[in-house]
Amino acid sequence: MEILYTPWRYEYMSTVDEREGCIFCEKAGADNDRENLIVARDKLCFAILNLYPYSSGHVMVAPYTHLPSIEDLDEETIACMMSLAKRCMAAIRDAFSPEGFNLGINIQRCAGAGIVDHVHMHVVPRWAGDSNFMSVVGDTRILPVTLDEVWLSLSERLNLGTDPLS
């Protein structure tokens, strides 16, 4: 079995316990969605770009409520998260034409949660061959679109009437 290492992930994970407050609560409570990378807001949750994306268009959907697991959320909030994830997938598909998606919720640190106390869902667009040696060997992630370009494209589709599901 071949083992691949992800040094960028360790760098991020090793500083999680040093942070004060909750990044999701802070970003959701702020006024500047563009600066905070929030691409959409719904009644009970919001979608935010991942600052360290696995691929261009990687978003996270989080409830406004600060709870650690989907087990703690009411049905309406879970439904809102799934609905917004679906809208994000459609917007990402329209903007970037990915060949597939990974959706995931990491609950607790041993499952890979970088932010343990605020549950969130990852929506990760995928393309054939998007995983390559550069991340592991070169400690470099290759992303063809800047975060600001992704924010503009997705926020337009999700908020200005060009939402593919609206």
pLDDT one-digit tens code per residue, 52-79: 888 889 999 999 999 999 999 999 999 9
What is the chain's percent helix, strand, coil content, to nearest 5?
40, 15, 45
Whether residue 113 has pLDDT greater than 70: yes
As a whole number, mean pLDDT of residues 85-91 equals: 97
Q: Is residue 131 part of a domain?
A: yes
Q: Where are the beta strands (DSSP E) in the chain?
A: 38-41, 45-49, 59-63, 100-105, 121-126
| Partner residues linked to 123 by β-bridges | 59, 103
Q: Tokens for 35, please give them.
A: 């600066």
Residue 1 lies in a domain: no
Q: What is the pLDDT of residues 120-149, one digit of tens each?
A: 999 999 988 766 443 444 444 556 678 889
Does some domain include residue 45? yes
Q: Which two tokens stand for residue 117?
A: 């106390």
Task: Name the amino acid, one letter, at 63.
Answer: P
Whether residue 42 lies inside any domain: the answer is yes
Strand, helix or coil for residue 39: strand
With pLDDT > 90 as the criterion, what percentage of the chain qualifies? 59
In a domain, 165, yes or no: no
Side-chain-side CA neighbours of 7 within 13 Å: the count stands at 9
* Cα–Cα dist 35/79, whole Å: 27
Q: Distance between CA atoms of 14 and 111, rounded to whole angstroms? A: 15
**The model's pTM:** 0.79
Confidence band (pLDDT; 50, 70, 90) for 26? very high
pLDDT range class, residue 112, cuts 50, 70, 90:
confident
In-domain check, residue 110: yes
Please check whether residue 156 is in contact with residue 67, taking contact to mean a CB–CB distance below 8 angstroms.
no
| Residue 139 token pair | 């400690």
**Residue 29 belongs to domain with CATH number:** 3.30.428.10
**Confidence at residue 45, expressed as pLDDT on a 0 to 100 scale:** 98
Structure tokens given for 9: 């992930």
Q: At a CB cut-off of 8 Å and minimum separation 6, what does 8 contact?
A: 52, 135, 139, 141
Structural domain boundaries, residue 101: 7-159
* Active site residue ranges: 120
- Looking at the 3D structure of the chain, how many domains does it have? 1
Quick check: is 112 in a domain? yes
Residue 16 maps to a domain: yes
